[in-house]
Amino acid sequence: MLRDKRSEYLTALVLVGPFVLIYGALFVWPTIQMVMLSFTKAPLIGPGDWVGIDNYVKILGHKLFHSAFWNTAYFVLLTVVPNTLVSLLIAMAVNRLNGWVQGFVLACFFLPYILPVSVVFLAWNWIIDVQYGLAQVFVRPFNGGEPMSLTRTIPAFMPTVAFVTVWWTMGFNILLFIAGLRNVSPEIYEAAQLDSAGRWRQFSRITWPLLWPITALVLTIQLIAQLKIFDQVYLFSIGGRQDATITLVQYVYKLAFQQNKGGEAATAAVLLFGMIVVLSVLQYQVLRTRGDK
């Protein structure tokens, strides 16, 4: 059959064109502009004078940038793997349920995920409140019988926000894991049982390897999401020592919107962008090789 190459290109262009245009206009072009802005001494709005790499030297030597970097890294450490593990455990438990009970339990776990962050913040802020909070019942024994402010005591801040974040976001991961678990055919477990494989062996030799692609996906999505952490940390730190718990996005926000330093904010954003690209590509590659085995 003769193929009209030109009309194929045209079809491809019509199908892909809109996406490429929108992607270019809303992502690629702003990214290029951000990089260009990072070399200028610009205010939040409008252009500024070219200063070369001055902003990079300044930001990289800025104490607050270092603390933002470590706080973000700490938050990633506290959320990414724990969230994935907890989600996997809950998904396996939910998967054992049947019928409407399963649907109900799943809905319960998923419900927090659809709440806006402001609602999550308000609810938890009252739960952990140092004067009236319900959670103080559990906190008191660890603090010599005294109540303790979990968000105003700096060492407790990140673990608290990480806990709330895991509670809030695990619903989506549970769904992904359940989808993955349902894809594992029951015959494999049946065969394993016939070969008298125990629960642990079934998990380590069947469930875990077959779920690996999903796990890798969940870990990567989590890593990117948590590197960009802003909302919860910002909300819980309002009225407190924001600099002590500052994260990278918050640092960008502070420079841009509170200090009117567009150029320096762009520099910090470029650095964060670079970190996310490198880390997520690296992590995904590592996880993929693990999966190929």
Largest alpha-carbon pair distance within the chain?
A: 84
> If binding is defined by CB under 8 A, does position 50 make contact with other proteins?
no
Angle, in degrees to the nearest 10, between helices 154-183 and 99-110:
150
Which of the ranges 23-31, 93-101, 189-197, 256-264 carries the binding residues for other proteins, by CB under 8 A?
256-264
Nearer to other proteins, 94 or 254 (CB): 254
CA pseudo-torsion sign 183, 185, 186, 191:
negative
With CB under 8 A as the contact rule, the residue among 82, 112, 213, 240 that binds other proteins is: 240
CA 69 to each of CA 35, 75, 121, 182, 282: distance values in angstroms, whole numbers, following the listed order: 20, 10, 23, 39, 18
Token code pair at residue 34? 């951000």
For 126, other C-beta atoms within 10 Å of its C-beta total 12
**Residue 48 CB contacts under 8 Å (≥ 6 apart), including other chains:** 37, 40, 41, 42, 262, 263
Kindly determine how many residues on this chain lie close enough to bind other proteins according to the rule CB under 8 A: 26
> If binding is defined by CB under 8 A, does position 7 make contact with other proteins?
no
> If binding is defined by CB under 8 A, does position 1 make contact with other proteins?
no
With CB under 8 A as the contact rule, the residue among 97, 114, 244, 282 that binds other proteins is: 244
> If binding is defined by CB under 8 A, does position 239 make contact with other proteins?
yes
- Distance, in Å, from the CA atom of 89 to the CA atom of 203, rounded to the nearest integer, reads 11
Distance of CA 208 to the CA centre of its chain: 22
Report the nearest approach of other proteins to the CB of residue 252 (Å). 13
Report the nearest approach of other proteins to the CB of residue 146 (Å). 9
Interface mask toward other proteins for 115-154; x: CB under 8 A: ----------x---xxxx---------------xx--xxx
Q: Helix (H) and strand (E) counts for the chain?
A: 14, 2
Report the nearest approach of other proteins to the CB of residue 151 (Å). 9
> If binding is defined by CB under 8 A, does position 241 make contact with other proteins?
yes
With CB under 8 A as the contact rule, the residue among 33, 204, 259, 285 that binds other proteins is: 259
> Which segments of 25-171 are extended strands (E)?
40-41, 49-50
> If binding is defined by CB under 8 A, does position 102 make contact with other proteins?
no
> If binding is defined by CB under 8 A, does position 231 make contact with other proteins?
no
Nearer to other proteins, 62 or 221 (CB): 62
> If binding is defined by CB under 8 A, does position 41 make contact with other proteins?
no
Nearest 10 degrees: CA dihedral of 211, 212, 213, 214? 50
Site for other proteins in 150-209 (CB under 8 A): 152-154
Footprint of other proteins on this chain (CB under 8 A)?
A: 43-46, 125, 129-132, 148-149, 152-154, 238-244, 254, 257-260
